[in-house]
A and B are shown apart, each in its own frame.
Chain A
Amino acid sequence: MGKKRLERLAIHLVLVAGGMLMVFPFLWMVSTSLKYPDEVFSYPPRWFPSKPNWGNYINAWNSAPFGRFFLNSVLTSGAVTLAQLVTCSTAAFAFARMRFPGREALFVAFLGTMMIPHQVTMIPNYIILSKLGWIDTYYALIVPFTAGAFGIFLLRQFFLTIPKELEDAATIDGCSYLRFLVSIMLPLSRPALSALALFTFMREWNSYTWPLIVTNSTNMRTLQVGLRFFISQEGGNLGHLLMAASMIATVPVLIVFFLAQEQLIEAMTATGLKG
């Protein structure tokens, strides 16, 4: 027994040490975000602020239009998530439950889009959007992402597990496809729908390259892009404000993560997809 307990202790020690390395950057971010400027620039660096300076958060919030960035991120991530819930569930329903010519070919074509690196479509999409006059608008941030192969695949797999008898009963009752989807399939699929919503929201919230390319005015920047410009302007000087701003960009997703991590991790392992 003694050997076993020693082994467990050793494993815990290794995992705790690794965990501290994982958490350290977060602690450093929190600690720096609460320091007074002279503490940020003291040498050697101070590990903790003498007393928390919450004013950094107010100063960071005011030193760039972070309110606007925040609003843009909430709006675009929210709109994309809502749109994907609608488009993915209708498409997944058709693929899972209906017979129509071209079903297999279309499904393969949709799934195939996951293999194309987005750098290939990025340039033509930029040109298409600039011809539409959509550059630097919400359309550019939202519309290209209102459908997604990942969501369709996820929901289709889930719909396939719902017993077919339900559908036969509903069809006999003269229930239309749309009504069957909305009143029976969707309520039964809440776990899959919320996984998709979480996943899409987090991916959009953290997305960077596309918003960077299609926005040019300060007012249209998302939180991530706004933070990046804040870093490049203030990078070497204002560590405490920089960390406070990074906290602002991080905390919403961390809250979502803590509320729903089981679901999120399950969806990731089931589908093997990363943000």
Chain B
Amino acid sequence: MQNPKRSGISWKPSLLIIFFIFAAFIFIFLIYLGLTGYQATPKYIHLNNSYIPPGSVQYSEEQQTVLSQFGRLNYFSIQFYDDWLDNGILQTIRVENWGFESHGQEITFLNGVLLESTGIDIPAQASLPLTYSPDQFHAYMSLQEISAVTGVTELIEMPMELELLPGGKIYFGPGITFGLKNNQLIYIEAFSQIDNGGQS
């Protein structure tokens, strides 16, 4: 025969434990939602950078020639990605686009080799000198390294949606935009800032 009194006593802790577990799951779920939401939220970040800047990339002869001929660079963008080349080795590709407004030319380099020169028709703007140069940026640099080479410590961080690019974050700084995937630089773009202090 079962003792009804003993049975009543044993139910109370069980219910309490179930309630506690349920509450814990709700709490964890909310924390998870909060962290996920936090990760997906655009942020204004201020880096306290103590990194030593890495050395600069060596320009190719063709790039040096272009710079000496065209002079001041108005904007540039660099894409980094991996590709299998003819020799079967996975190699990092560096595609650079350099813009020279005064000469109306945008020049493309593939791993330092001149690939293409395209005429551009952009009205002259009163712009400040470009404060960054392509040789500052290595493939797959970290955020801290980029901050160290550019001196930029205040940035807007914009996480990309998981469906679009998992691990992707875009950063916006003064005259510079770059993208990191898993904290590795794969895209960077720098433009001369406009001189009038307003938007274009």
Q: Bound pair: A and B?
A: no
